[in-house]
Amino acid sequence: MKICPVCESTLFDDMDTCFGCLYRFGSDPALEAARSAKAVPWPVDGGEGECAASRGGEGGSAAPTAQEMSVPGWRLRVRSEGLQPRGSSLTVEIEPV
């Protein structure tokens, strides 16, 4: 993933043009170098693996679990509910701080 130096949209590495502001990568190498110098790496989430929540009733549903992570200027919260193959849900909340 790369970040547009003009509008700071997140783009796939193979994209040559930002669809947010139509900036063409490679047209201003100095601007791109300045943006990559101040880029902040994505924080490593140590919360991967098994969930400590216990299974609930007969449907196998578990109590909702949530993980929070802070990225400069943003709060990210991910919550999963239910462990059944059908009927489980994933909620992602992104809030400016």
What's the pTM?
A: 0.35
The SS3 assignment for 45 reads coil
Q: Alpha-carbon distance 83 to 65, whole Å? A: 11
Question: Can you name the residues that pair with 1 across neighbouring β-strands?
Answer: none
pLDDT of residue 48: 47
- By C-alpha distance, which of 57, 40, 53 is closest to 79? 53
pLDDT tens digits along 25-80:
888 888 777 766 565 555 555 554 444 443 444 444 455 567 777 777 888 888 87
